[in-house]
Amino acid sequence: MENLLGSDATIKVSSTLDKSVGRKHLTDGSPETCWTSQTVGRMNLIPSQNMIHYDLEQGSPQFIQIVFDVPVVPSQLSITFQGGFVGVKTSVLIKSPREDGGKSEWRPWTTVYPEDVNRAQLFDLTPQTSVESGIDGMKLVFEESSDFFGRITIYDLQTREFTHRDQVSSPAPVQSQLEGLTAPLWAELRSRHNDAIGHRQIPCHKVTRMKEKGEPFLQVVY
């Protein structure tokens, strides 16, 4: 699969702690560099009480906004957070090109729930709305952070889509085997292989209908 965050994608972020942890480090491929956001909320100094009051309610969630040069259909999202600064609830918003050329609006697509760990985490993007025609923008909104001050730190960010290399290598034979499938068998194939045939186009070489103890099942060879 192809990483979509190359030179053809433009990335913006809600904030940056300082220049040494800027947004360019999200996609530079180095495990030594990262992007870190500023804190969420407002810090209020109260001299008369000799104290600092931190109001988390005054802030907005941190986000990463991606704009693609051409419409794409992302299939997976890979994020490597720093433990302790993880967006444990991350909403994925998208926008699609309008036929009249007008400005499109962000709309919810799906939500992922990363663990509070350092390793890379991979999420299959299971959309709540269809994007068959492609999207030209994706926005990751970190609604909840494992850091008390709402900071987010990411060492690597990738979003991937299936390319022509991932398509069915011999579509005619495979398609001919699928045409006779009954509705229950189609449901079995779609649920067990994550929309392998049709929507996601995972390359498969053979689909065989079989029986075990009188019950039909599908054997899919990739």
pTM beyond 0.75: the answer is no
Side-chain half-sphere exposure of 109, counting CA atoms within 13 A: 28
DSSP state for residue 165 in the 8-state scheme: G
Residue-wise pLDDT for 168-195, tens only, equals: 343 444 444 455 555 555 555 555 554 4
Confidence (pLDDT) at 104: 84
Give pLDDT tens digits for 8-34.
Answer: 799 999 999 999 999 999 999 999 999
- Roughly how many angstroms between the first and final C-alpha of the chain, as a whole number? 15
Q: Rounded CA gap, 25 and 31, in Å?
A: 9
pLDDT for the residue numbered 139: 97
Delineate the domains of the chain, giving CATH numbers in brackets.
Answer: 2-161 (2.60.120.260), 165-221 (no CATH)
pLDDT tier, 101 (very low <50, low <70, confident <90, very high otherwise): confident
Report how far residue 165's alpha carbon sits from residue 90's, in angstroms, rounded to the nearest whole number: 30
Euclidean distance between CA atoms 59 and 40, whole angstroms: 5
pLDDT, tens only, 40-81: 765 555 666 665 555 555 456 899 999 998 888 888 999 999
Query: What is the C-alpha to C-alpha distance for residues 16 and 137, in angstroms, rounded to an integer?
Result: 21
Query: What pLDDT, on a 0 to 100 scale, did the predictor assign at position 4?
Result: 87
137 pLDDT band, cuts 50/70/90, is very high
How do residues 145-170 score in pLDDT, each as one tens digit? 999 888 999 999 999 885 444 443 43
* pLDDT for 185: 58
Output the pLDDT for position 200. Answer: 41
**136, pLDDT greater than 70:** yes
Average per-residue pLDDT in the chain?
76
Residue that is written with structure tokens 């991979």 in the block: 122
- The torsion region of residue 89 among left (phi > 0), alpha (psi -120 to 50) and beta comes to beta
pLDDT at position 134: 85
Q: Is pLDDT above 90 for 103? A: no
* Residue 197 identity: I
Q: Distance (Å, rounded) from C-alpha 61 to C-alpha 88?
A: 12
Say what percent of the chain tops pLDDT 90.
Answer: 43
* Better-scored residue on pLDDT, 3 or 27: 27
